[in-house]
């Protein structure tokens, strides 16, 4: 049965031939007897017909390795992350958030914000801080009590690297991304940690911390999820797969309520960061889960 010009489905099966805003990707999925199967196909092309397209192909061919690397992240999300997230979310086991996460002495801190708010900068500056472990700087998952990192390479521009200095265990990967950010692998934690605090990041002329209500922060995080292409694309992916797994959509409908319950358990804040001195922000966040802070709460 065709439900869209690019989507066909049958009992427990679905084929999506032009995926969302990545039309070079096609996905097939099958769900039967509690087992999910996914298949992804990717068509890489340098252009279509006509003399203008031929000229474009000649110009693009010189940048072929760069163009291929530029597709790697998108393919990783669609072939690995999105199927895994759907498997978890459709069972009510975890939900993705566009946010960074660090573990301080075994306690998790959620660091949320729009692109450019400073998530990668502050996350990287926790490298070398005693008792700190990275979870992720872009996407985390939660099960209402714990944070799990969905780690990707850190993307740092020249100013962020200069603020770090040397000796932080970063391994360059030889890839440059948008906004002149280079990719680095960093030591990180792979298991979940209980959430101790949630922080909304923003740029500011000074560094200051303001208490927020859990419901207000939950609404902001839901909006940030839709603004971030990595999670927004997943939401479309999950909605399409829900056509053949409607019981999974019942868990998706609980995203907002479960996020509110996660944040209601912990103190929530808005942190304005002075760009020139991320160490100030790191110190403030560290204090949120220090022994003194735990006694005060």
What is the per-residue pLDDT for 183?
A: 83
3-state secondary structure at position 80: helix
Q: Is the dihedral of CA 241, 245, 246, 252 positive or negative?
A: negative
What is the per-residue pLDDT for 46?
A: 59
What is the per-residue pLDDT for 296?
A: 38
Pairwise CA distance, residues 234 & 263, whole Å = 22
What is the per-residue pLDDT for 107?
A: 95
* Residue 159 CB partners (closer than 8 Å, separation 6+): 275
What is the per-residue pLDDT for 68?
A: 64
Pairwise CA distance, residues 69 & 23, whole Å = 17
pTM equals 0.85
Q: What is the pLDDT along the chain (297 residues), one digit of tens a residue?
A: 888 889 999 999 999 998 988 888 999 999 888 789 999 998 866 566 666 777 776 776 666 666 666 677 888 899 999 999 999 999 999 999 999 999 999 999 999 998 888 888 888 888 878 889 999 989 999 999 999 998 888 877 777 777 776 667 788 888 777 777 788 888 888 899 999 999 999 988 888 999 999 999 999 999 999 999 999 999 999 999 999 999 889 999 999 999 999 999 999 999 998 876 788 889 999 999 865 444 334
3-state secondary structure at position 281: helix
What is the per-residue pLDDT for 293?
A: 47
Helix (H) or strand (E) holding 94: none
Q: What's the start-to-end Cα distance of the chain, in Å?
A: 57
Q: What are the extents of the domains in the chain?
A: 2-296
């Amino acid at each position: 049965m065709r439900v869209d010009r690019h989507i066909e489905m049958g009992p427990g099966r679905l084929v999506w031939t032009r995926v969302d805003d990545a039309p070079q990707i096609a996905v097939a999925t099958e769900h039967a007897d509690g087992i999910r199967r996914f298949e992804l196909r990717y068509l890489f092309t340098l252009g279509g017909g006509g003399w203008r397209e031929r000229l474009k192909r000649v110009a693009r061919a010189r940048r072929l390795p760069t163009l291929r690397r530029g597709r790697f992240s998108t393919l990783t999300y669609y072939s690995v992350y999105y199927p895994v997230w759907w498997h978890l979310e459709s069972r009510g086991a975890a939900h993705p958030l566009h946010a960074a996460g660090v573990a301080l002495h075994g306690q998790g801190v959620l660091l949320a914000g729009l692109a450019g708010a400073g998530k990668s900068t502050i996350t990287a500056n926790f490298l070398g801080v005693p008792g700190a472990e990275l979870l992720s700087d872009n996407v985390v998952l939660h099960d209402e009590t714990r944070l799990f990192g969905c780690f990707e390479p850190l993307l740092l521009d020249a100013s962020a690297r200069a603020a770090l200095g040397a000796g932080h265990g970063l391994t360059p990967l030889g890839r440059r991304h948008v906004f002149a950010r280079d990719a680095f692998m960093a030591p990180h934690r792979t298991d979940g940690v209980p959430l101790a605090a949630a922080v909304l990041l923003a740029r500011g002329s000074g560094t200051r911390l303001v208490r927020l209500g859990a419901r207000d922060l939950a609404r902001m995080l839901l909006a940030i999820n839709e603004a971030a292409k990595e999670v927004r694309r997943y939401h479309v992916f999950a909605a399409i797969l829900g056509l053949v797994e409607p019981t999974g959509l019942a868990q998706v409908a609980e995203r907002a309520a479960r996020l509110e319950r996660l944040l209601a358990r912990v103190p929530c804040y808005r942190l304005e960061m002075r760009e020139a001195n991320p160490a100030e922000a790191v110190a403030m966040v560290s204090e949120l889960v220090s022994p003194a802070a735990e006694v005060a709460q």
